[in-house]
Amino acid sequence: MSPSVENRRVLVTGAATGIGAAAVHVLSAAGARVVGTFHNTEPESRVGASWVRCDVTDQQSVDEAVAEAVTEFGGLDVLINAAGNWQPGMPGQFDAKDIRSVLDANFTSTVFTNQAAYASMKESGGQIVNFGSAEGVTGSPFAATYSAAKAAVHAWTRSAARLWGADGVTVNAIAPAVQTRGADRLRDNLTPKGCNSSNSN
């Protein structure tokens, strides 16, 4: 039998859309107490969670969002770190701004959110779940910096898990195979202009 999440205190980053929004829906339906973060995109639904605006690439914003969740709940049991952004681009096409944007959205945000969550969990334990990607393992000629950023998320997760486990804080990464807006953008970039990918014989 799967352990119950009822009354677990959960923070979900990147919760306005996609995987994060789905996590909020499922967890709240299962009885968890959920705070979701959003930045520029308003939540698709505000049902089932409290909400806080947060720029996950800014350390102060992250620290304040986690502190708000901890204040509301009296602590934090779980971080679901779903914030991230898929961007296309092939090797040879990137400038410094492109690289920094993708790294900040996917890797820097992971470090900031994980560290802030750990600071509130280290006395009582907790679970941190990061979202990696199969592209972080295999690489991708069509999204090279995204793949590199997700590979960094995988390495960071292993490093944090080895250190923080002694405090009862587990850190894991998952690479879900689901339809997301990033997957839609990948398909759009691979589809020749003028072709309808839904019509194939």
**What Rg value do the Cα atoms of the chain yield, rounded?**
17
Q: Is 146 a catalytic residue?
A: yes
pTM of the model: 0.86
Q: Nearest-CA neighbor of 103 among 80, 118, 84?
A: 84
Query: Can you state the angle between helices 144-164 and 96-103, rounded to 10 degrees?
Result: 40
Write down the catalytic residue from 112, 146, 156, 164. Answer: 146
Q: How confident is the model at residue 199 (pLDDT cuts 50, 70, 90)?
A: very low
List the domain boundaries for the chain.
Answer: 9-189
Residue 103: pLDDT over 70 = yes
Q: How confident is the model at residue 188 (pLDDT cuts 50, 70, 90)?
A: low
Q: Give yes or no for a contact between 17 and 82, defined as CB atoms under 8 angstroms apart.
A: no
Residues 41-69 pLDDT 10s: 999 888 889 999 999 999 999 999 999 99
Q: Which fold has domain 9-189?
A: Rossmann fold (3.40.50)
Residue 181: pLDDT over 80 = no
Query: In the predicted model, what is the mean pLDDT of the chain?
Result: 89
